[in-house]
Amino acid sequence: MINISRLKKINDSLWEIPKDSRADMRVPARVYATEKMLADISSDKSLEQLMNVATLPGIVGYALAMPDIHEGYGFPVGGVAAFDVEKGIISPGGIGYDINCGVRLLLSKRTREQILPYIKDLGRTIFAEVPSGVGRGGRLRLTESKFDAVLSQGAEYMQQVGYASDEDLQAIESGGKLPDANPQRVSLRARTRGVDQLGTIGAGNHFVEVEYVSEIYDEPEAGRLGLRLGHVCMLIHTGSRGLGHQVATDYIREMNLAMPRYGIALPDRELACTPFRSPEGQAYWGAMSAAANFAWANRQVITWEVRKAWQQVTKDRGNSLTLLWDVAHNIAKIEEHTIGKRKKKVIVHRKGATRAFPDQPVIIPGSMGTGSCVLVGQEGSLQQSFGSSCHGAGRRMSRHRARAQIGVKELRKQLEASGIVVNAGSRRGLTEEAPFAYKDLEEVVNVIHAAGIAKKVARLKPLAVIKG
C-alpha cells in the first residue's frame, strides 16, 4: 500500500505521485480525488498499480486515475493512460477483460407518475425479454458469415438486419463500429463463447434499469440533451460477454510469451504488453476492435428487446424510447492529443473510464440503490485527462465482503422500501452489488465537475432493476 503522504497536492481535486518516487517511472502518476477520498483509495493496491502503469514503454503525459479508482487486473479500474502510437505499447490489462463494457441511455416521453402503475409488470417483462446470467444465451443464432459481420461492423450490421435505426447509430460512440476490427484474430474459443450471447446482459454488475430524471443541475444542457424532469428513461450496462473475456485471456497469454523478444521487463506480469506496431500488438488491436464491435451490437439488440418490452406494457408505438448516447468505458482508441505543445497520435487506454470530449454526454451509473448521473464533457478533459472521465461510483468493497454483509431477503426488502422493483436471477449476484459496496456517486461526480473535466447535468433515480 502506498503512503498517501507521498502524494503532492496539485489542487483540491488532483494529487500527484512524482516521477522520482520510483526509479522505473517514466511519467508522474496523477489521481483525481478529494483529500477525504484518498484514505479509501489507498486501502488497496490501486495507487501502486497506477505507478506501475507509469513505467510502461511509450507512455506520455501522466498515468491517470479517476475518483472511482479501485484495484484491478494490472491497471487499476478507473485508469487512463496514453501511449505513443509509433513507440508505445498496447496492453490488454489497460482495457480490461470485458472489452467495451459500456452504458447507453434511452429516453421516454412518459413521466414517473404515468409509469408507476405499470412498473412491476415492466420490470418482469424486461427480465423475460432480456436474457441474463452467467453463460445465458440470447435469441439470435448466427452463421459464421453473420458472426463475422457482427465482429466487423458492430451496431452498423444490426441496423442492416433491423435491430437499429439511423438515429441509433448517430448516438453511439464511434458510430458503434471500430474500423480496424479483424475477425480472423478472434480465436475459435472466443467465437464459441460469444456466438449465442448477442442480446444478453450476463451477470456481475451488469444491468438494465428503469430510472427517472429526479434532478436537473443545468437546464440549458438538459434541454439540449432532451432530459426532462420527472421523465422515465432506461439505462443499459453490459459489454462483450464471454467473447471479450476470452480475447483478453488469449492475448495476455500471448504477450507474456512475446515480451522477452522486445526487451520489455515489467514490475507486474499482469501488465503484459507488446509494442503497438508489433505483430502481436496489431493482432490484439484487431481482436479487441472486433470484441468492441460485438459489445455495441449486443447493447443494440438489448435496446430492441427493451423497446419491445416497453411497447408491450405501455402500448406506446413508434419511436417511444430514443437513444441519447452510448459510450464505452473499457476500450483503447487511437486519438490525437496535445502533449506539451505538440499534437501527437496516441493510443488511449481507458479501463473503467469514459470518454468525455467537449459537449458529449457522459453517462455515469451508480449502484442499483442510488441511481446515475448524466454529465457533459468539457474542454478541461482534453487539457487534463486525454478526454476522459470516471465511469461509475467505483467499488469500495469486494464482492465477497459485500455478500457477507447482507442477505438477499434483507437487501430486497431495503430496495423495495425505497420504491425499487427488483428482478434478479442470482441471489449471490444481487448481494454482490449491494449499494453500500460502492463509493458515494455524488462525491465521485463532484470531483469530475470541480476539475472541469465534465459538468453535472442531471441525476437519475431507479424505479426497477433487472440483473442476472
Which grid cell is 370? 442510488
Q: What is the pLDDT along the chain (468 residues), one digit of tens a residue?
A: 677 778 999 999 999 999 999 999 999 999 999 999 998 898 899 999 999 999 999 999 999 999 999 999 999 999 999 999 999 999 999 999 999 999 999 999 999 999 999 999 999 999 999 987 666 666 777 899 999 999 999 999 999 999 999 999 999 999 999 999 999 999 999 999 999 999 999 887 899 999 999 999 999 999 999 999 999 999 999 999 999 999 999 999 999 999 999 999 999 999 999 999 999 999 999 999 999 999 999 999 999 999 999 999 999 876 789 999 999 999 999 999 999 889 999 999 999 999 999 999 999 998 777 889 999 999 999 999 999 999 998 777 777 777 777 787 787 887 877 788 988 876 666 777 777 777 789 999 999 999 999 999 999 999 999 986
Interstrand relation of 59-70 and 29-32 (parallel, antiparallel or unpaired): parallel
**Backbone phi, then psi, for 75, in 5-degree steps?**
-80, 150
Write the burial class of residue 111 (CB in 10 Å: 0-12 exposed, 13-18 middle, 19+ buried).
Answer: middle
Alpha helices per DSSP H over 202-316: 219-225, 241-258, 279-314
Taking CA atoms, 192 is separated from 107, 197, 291, 294, in Å, by: 34, 10, 13, 13
pLDDT given at position 137? 63
Q: Give the Cβ contact number of residue 213 at 10 Å.
A: 23
Residues 390 and 364 sit within 8 Å (Cβ to Cβ): yes
> 3-state DSSP call for residue 418?
coil
Strand partners, 336: 345
**Backbone phi, then psi, for 381, in 5-degree steps?**
-65, -35
82: nearest Cα among 353, 269, 272, 280:
353
Q: Give the Cβ contact number of residue 96 at 10 Å.
A: 27
pLDDT given at position 244? 98
Cα-to-chain-centroid distance, residue 443: 19
Q: Where are the domains of the chain?
A: 4-467
Radius of gyration of the chain (CA): 21
Residues 390 and 445 sit within 8 Å (Cβ to Cβ): yes
> 3-state DSSP call for residue 360?
coil
Q: What is the DSSP letter of 7?
A: P
Half-sphere exposure of 161 (CA within 13 A, CB side): 15
CATH of 4-467 among 3.40.50.700, 2.40.110.10, 3.90.1860.10, 3.40.50.1000: 3.90.1860.10
- How many helices and strands in the chain, by DSSP H and E? 16, 19
The single residue of 70, 337, 391, 449 carrying the catalytic annotation is: 391
| Residue in the block written with cell 419491445 | 308
Task: Please indicate whether residue 206 is annotated as part of the active site.
Answer: no
Residues 210 and 115 sit within 8 Å (Cβ to Cβ): yes
Which grid cell is 391? 465511469
**Backbone phi, then psi, for 175, in 5-degree steps?**
65, 15
Report d(CA 295, CA 350) in Å as an integer: 16
> 3-state DSSP call for residue 174?
helix
Which grid cell is 192? 464459441
pLDDT given at position 263? 97
Report d(CA 130, CA 139) in Å as an integer: 9
Q: Which residues contact 452 (CB under 8 A, 6 or more apart)?
A: 378, 379, 380, 381, 384
Half-sphere exposure of 308 (CA within 13 A, CB side): 15
Residues 260 and 161 sit within 8 Å (Cβ to Cβ): no
Report d(CA 303, CA 307) in Å as an integer: 6
Residues 306 and 129 sit within 8 Å (Cβ to Cβ): yes
In single-letter form, the type of residue at position 341 comes to K
Report d(CA 240, CA 333) in Å as an integer: 16
Residues 80 and 46 sit within 8 Å (Cβ to Cβ): no
Report d(CA 49, CA 453) in Å as an integer: 23
Report d(CA 123, CA 425) in Å as an integer: 13
Report d(CA 407, CA 412) in Å as an integer: 9
Q: Give the Cβ contact number of residue 325 at 10 Å.
A: 18
175: nearest Cα among 287, 332, 320, 300:
300
DSSP result, 329-356:
SEEEEEEEEEETTEEEEEEEEEESEEE-
Strand (E) or helix (H) holding 231: strand 231-238
